[in-house]
A and B are shown apart, each in its own frame.
Chain A
Amino acid sequence: MGRIEWAMWANEQALASGLILVTGGVVAVAAQFKGWPFAAYAIAAGVFVCLLEYPRGKRKKGSTMERCGQKYLTAVVKVFGPITRNYYVRAILHAALAVPAGFLLSTILGTACLGIASAIYLLAAIRGEEWNPIEQKPQERPQVGGGTIKQPPAMPPPRPPADTRKKPPAEVAGQENPIPVTIEAE
């Protein structure tokens, strides 16, 4: 298990928690359950958690699949520097955000899920993991062949002219049947 980056799973769990908080909150506010102000808070907290967790961090090893359209949120999350980079901060933040939603049955599932996400982030932080933004790669290509080859070739590799190509006629793949084919009734 040496290659696990726990933050990856914590991120999925936190994103799911955000959605669950929003759902539970919306139900309680719309139906005006008793104590619905807690649900209103849960909606706000859920949206915040979703926005924070949507941009996936860069893995230390290997390539990372970006979520659709995450680059806009990456730019915002990056601005906060060490606050968003450090997973101890995230663990404490998620634990704190989860608590008020625990006072209402509709949102307590969100509390439990966010609490678990916080615990996994704590584990990730102890393992020394960090959130690094996935940067867009600049569009320049590395200089290959000492600069003599400027771009990948647009044309296929050159072949000798047709009359010097000596291919036996039977090797023309599939254009004529070397063996007569009879159609059998099925």
Chain B
Amino acid sequence: MGNWVVNEGLSILVILVWLGLNAFLFWWYYRVYDVPVKYHYSRKLLGSALAWARAPAACLNFNCLLILLPVCRNLLSFLRGSSACCSTRIRRQLDRNLTFHKMVAWMIALHTAIHTIAHLFNVERCVDGRVEAKGTIQAALSDLGDKTGETYLNFVRKKIPNPEGGLYVAFTYLAGLSGVIITLALILIITSSTKTIRRSYFEVFWYTHHLFVVFFIGLVIHGAGRIVRGQTDESLKEHNPHTCEKNFTQWGKISSCPIPQFAGNPPMTWKWVVVPMILYFFERLVRFWRSQQKVVITKVVNHPFKTFELQMMKKGFKMEVGQYIFVQCPTVSHLEWHPFTLTSAPEEDYFSIHIRIVGDWTEGVFNACGCDKQEFQEAWKLPKILVDGPFGTASEDVFSYETVMLVGAGIGVTPFASVLKSVWYKYCNDATSLRLKKIYFYWLCRDTHAFEWFADLLQSLENQMQERDNAQFLSYNIYLTGWDESQATHFTVHHDEEQRCD
């Protein structure tokens, strides 16, 4: 239990604070529209549906502010680097940005649903108030604005009955039209973001996700029509709704109850989202600028089992152990960026990634680098590469302890290539200053085929350690979980023989 609190406690705290803020905003803005006398007549016309629509609207403002921030990965990298004073545990929260992004997205979907349903009631009541209500206070309130000098409360002016009236309102008023369009954009974004689609057809997810531009533009103009109306302060001084609502037939005829005047609320959403929108715009600008920096491939190494290594250099590139980069190869695709863990150590003068051929993009890069050819490739024939990064929380904690246990499963072993190489360089540089004295390395994978290059790295490290008389420094244990018929027959035949079994 204690371990769980240490590992997850800070994340849970962040989520609870976020949920708490959502609940507070919902409650607060519900009361803003449910209590004050300014909206008394609005409530007479619409009931509590007005408050039920405005409360999620406030939460939507808050969540739409938040949703852009976790995907500004360069901004997060900057925060991570500049907060080097803070503990790794705090910095590691920044690595959970995508999870937070998804949670905020679901909250946006929920509040959109509440907001839309409440407004369905509002539209129905507004149209009915204009058309059907006869002799009631709703009729009197809805008639306001018909004569000159009057301001309207009910934004529906045409007397088209429901259900056509509701449809007319939704598609002719800015709030209605923008609302329908952005809700549709949100639904398309969500259906193309499910795990199945993301994992199998990333392009569909990525390109459809750019509908968020439509979403944000529509969101900002959604309130420009000012159709949420309340009584003006000047009117409230002369006309008190509590006393005057009973004689609604006499408004304007008696001196104590002149015609009430109304005004719409100005749009507020832009104040919430303008800063994140600017930050995100700069984020895309930074990504573009970084991608224009020249990257030179210095070496391409072909490894067995469809893996190849790209060693590259870029001016001003700084990395830490265990980080990753995004790579684009315009020769193969102008729009695809793929993440790869850095397998080189910071001490080396180049940075490298190991790429395994699993799909069309990786195969395209393989061919573009000339790995399928036997003869030596000229340097100018190598393709242009764009790099963004590095990102991710570094694993530099490994240097602060005397004994370290590294556990890697499958592809997760790749950052350890960087870690182990960096340890080796520090050891060669000045073994006495290195606090690290013993590494226990555990590696689990189905078979070593995908990571033969890593097995070779371990082997070479072990040899180098033995040369320096420090064979005990690195102790590695490899567990292969794949069951193979050839292994079975091998064991059955050879188990009687005396053998080292490690």
In the complex, A109 Cα to B115 Cα: how many Å?
A: 14
Q: A9-B197, A109-B183, A167-B502 are in contact. Are A31 and B124 (CB under 8 A)?
A: yes
B498 at the interface (CB under 8 A from A): yes
A171 touching B197 by the CB < 8 A rule?
no
Q: A112-B184, A158-B495 are in contact. Are A106 and B501 (CB under 8 A)?
A: no
User: B246 CB to closest chain A CB, in angstroms?
Assistant: 28
B163 touching A38 by the CB < 8 A rule?
yes
- What residues make up the interface of B, taking CB atoms closer than 8 Å to A? 113, 116-117, 120-121, 123-124, 128, 161-163, 166-167, 169-170, 180, 183-184, 187-188, 190-192, 194-197, 200-201, 203-204, 360, 402-403, 405, 437-438, 440, 472, 475, 477, 483, 485, 487-489, 491-492, 495-502
In the complex, A24 Cα to B196 Cα: how many Å?
A: 27
**List of A residues within 8 angstroms of B402 by Cβ:** 179, 181
**List of A residues within 8 angstroms of B201 by Cβ:** 1, 3-5, 8-9
B472 touching A170 by the CB < 8 A rule?
yes
In the complex, A106 Cα to B162 Cα: how many Å?
A: 12
B488 touching A65 by the CB < 8 A rule?
no
A34 at the interface (CB under 8 A from B): yes
A16 at the interface (CB under 8 A from B): yes
Which of B190, B403, B477, B488 lies in contact with A157, CB distance below 8 A? B488
A105 touching B123 by the CB < 8 A rule?
yes
Residue among A34, A62, A158 facing the most chain B CB atoms (10 A cut-off): A34
Q: Is the interface of B mostly helix, strand, loop or mixed?
A: helix
**List of A residues within 8 angstroms of B194 by Cβ:** 12
In the complex, A56 Cα to B194 Cα: how many Å?
A: 13
User: B162 CB to closest chain A CB, in angstroms?
Assistant: 4
**List of B residues within 8 angstroms of A157 by Cβ:** 487-488, 491, 495
A8 touching B437 by the CB < 8 A rule?
no
Residue among B169, B197, B437 facing the most chain A CB atoms (10 A cut-off): B197
A34 touching B124 by the CB < 8 A rule?
yes
User: A174 CB to closest chain B CB, in angstroms?
Assistant: 6
**List of A residues within 8 angstroms of B488 by Cβ:** 145, 149, 153, 157
In the complex, A42 Cα to B466 Cα: how many Å?
A: 75
B120 touching A28 by the CB < 8 A rule?
yes
In the complex, A21 Cα to B339 Cα: how many Å?
A: 39
Residue among A106, A149, A171 facing the most chain B CB atoms (10 A cut-off): A106
Within 8 A of B (CB), among A166-186: 166-167, 170-171, 173-174, 177-179, 181
A144 at the interface (CB under 8 A from B): yes
B475 touching A116 by the CB < 8 A rule?
no
A16 touching B191 by the CB < 8 A rule?
yes
Q: A65-B196, A149-B488 are in contact. Are A164 and B191 (CB under 8 A)?
A: no
In the complex, A177 Cα to B491 Cα: how many Å?
A: 33
8 tightest A-B CB contacts, nearest first: A35-B163, A34-B162, A105-B166, A157-B491, A158-B495, A12-B191, A13-B191, A4-B201
B192 touching A9 by the CB < 8 A rule?
yes
**List of B residues within 8 angstroms of A106 by Cβ:** 120
A144 touching B485 by the CB < 8 A rule?
yes
Q: A112-B180, A116-B188 are in contact. Are A166 and B163 (CB under 8 A)?
A: no
